[in-house]
Structure 1
Amino acid sequence: MYELKDRDFIFAFTGPDGVGRKTVAHSIGSTLEIKRVISYTTRKPRPSELNGQDYHFVTLEQFKEAEANGEFLESVEINGNWYGINKRDIEEAFKQNGSFYLVVNPHGAEILKQMYGEHVVRLFIFADRDTVVQRQRQQGLSEQEVADHLTHYDADMAYKEQCEHAFPNYELAHTVFRGTNILETYLNRDLIEED
């Protein structure tokens, strides 16, 4: 078992579906050169998603077998699809990178917080309901998929108060700038020392 150091962090980007949490997280991760842990899911890829880049897309049988073998740190069913975070992926990310990020729903963020405590920093990304609907339609989601996601919107928004940081995502560049500054305070990689 890897022993965590003071500056080992999991940056958990969370919030309702359709707010752009994945785009924000990837932009910040790329800017700060932070590695990412990718979750597993049984749902079909959306038009713009790639296996191994957005999720590890697996069959229900593969997922259930991994779950039965105790491979997942957490797993949850949402709208008939299963999502999970592999324990080994988390352990390896800590060993190799110290700090890393992932994109999870509030349920996953809460489980990570319970397991890793102060080493988990939750960044709650949000937008109003109308913006979420508009973005999901632009992604090519069906009206049924949009409606399914909205059934969780209020419950997901209620998690905002429990997160260490929360900010809206209406202007991507501004959101990324703000998030990057927040992560920098945890990473404390400033090379300039002030007297």
Structure 2
Amino acid sequence: MYALKEREMIFVFTGPHGAGRKTVAEMSGSTLGMKQVISYTTRPPKATEVDGQDYHFISPAQFVAAQAANEFIEVSTVNDHLYGIKSSDIEQMFKSSGSIYLILNRSGAQTLKQLYNEHVVQVLIYADKETLAERMRESGDSPEVIASYLSHYEEEIAYRDQCDHVFENVDLAHTVFDLSKTLDQYLNRNLLDLD
């Protein structure tokens, strides 16, 4: 496992599916000059997803082989699909960036917190159930998929108490602005506040 240097930080974005955690994370990461570590998954890509950009899409056999070789520092199962983070990817990203971010479910967020302690900042992005259902419908998810994701809603929201920061994503621009200001305190980049 990669040993983090004193000023290296990992920001973990978590929250219920459809809350916009990926969009918020990417926009904040871009604003703050952070690199994303991409997860591996056995689930098939959605129509809008790109391999190596959204996830590394691999076969179950490839995943199991990597797992057997102890390449993953974190593995979780969501809706019968495997997800994992490779330690080598974290190390590689730190070679080009002093801070990185990941988009994980609560179990992945907990694992990273246990592994890297004070170097990990957990950020929960959420919206109410109706908003999530509407967003998923707009992105073409079936009623069954929506019901499956929403069945985890209470567990995801309950995790807020273990997170360092919690943001309700109602207005994307405001959420990204507020979040970037908050995370900048860890990075000491001194973003200008033009309020």
Using the size of structure 2 for normalisation, the TM-score is: 0.94
Deviation at 1:151, TM superposition (A): 1.5
- 1 CA distance for matches of 2:78 and 2:14? 15
For the residue of structure 1 that corresponds to 2:7, the secondary structure is coil
Determine whether 1:146 maps to 2:167: no
**C-alpha displacement at 1:123, in angstroms?**
0.7
Query: Shift of the alpha carbon at 1:191?
Result: 8.7
For residue 27 of structure 1, give the secondary structure of its aligned residue in structure 2: helix
Report deviation, 1:97: 1.4
2: CA distance, partners of 1:47 / 1:33: 28
After TM superposition, give the deviation of residue 2 of structure 1 in Å: 4.8
Cα displacement (A) at 1:58: 0.7
* 8 Å contact kept, 1:47–1:139: no
Question: Aligned runs of 1:26-175 on 2, under 5 Å?
Answer: 26-175=26-175
**Structure 2 Cα separation of the partners of residues 129 and 52 of structure 1:** 30
Show structure 1 runs of 5+ residues with no match. none
Residues 84-110 of structure 1: CA distance to partner in whole angstroms, max 9, x if unpaired? 001110122223312111100111000
Unaligned runs of 5+ in 2: none
Counterpart residue identity of residue 47, structure 1: A
Q: 1:70 to 1:2 in 2, by over 3 A?
A: closer
Q: Conserved in 2, the CA contact under 8 Å of 1:2 and 1:94? A: no
Q: Which moved more, 1:87-96 or 1:54-63?
A: 87-96
Partners of 2:129 and 2:115 lie apart in 1 by 31
Deviations 1:45-73 (A, max 9, x none): 11211111000011111111111111101
Q: Tell me the number of residue pairs that the alignment of Structure 1 and Structure 2 aligns.
A: 192
8 Å Cα contact 1:37-1:93 kept in structure 2: yes
Q: Partners in 1 of 2:31 and 2:58 — Cα distance? A: 29
**Distance (whole Å) between structure 1 residues aligned to residue 181 and residue 189 of structure 2:** 11
Which residue identity lines up with residue 119 of structure 1 in the other structure?
H
Identical-residue share of aligned pairs (%): 52
Q: Letter of the aligned partner of 1:20 in structure 2?
A: G
1:8 corresponds to 2:8: yes
Provide the secondary structure at the position in 1 that maps to 2:160. helix
Normalising by structure 1, we get a TM-score of 0.94
Distance (whole Å) between structure 2 residues aligned to residue 58 and residue 87 of structure 1 = 17
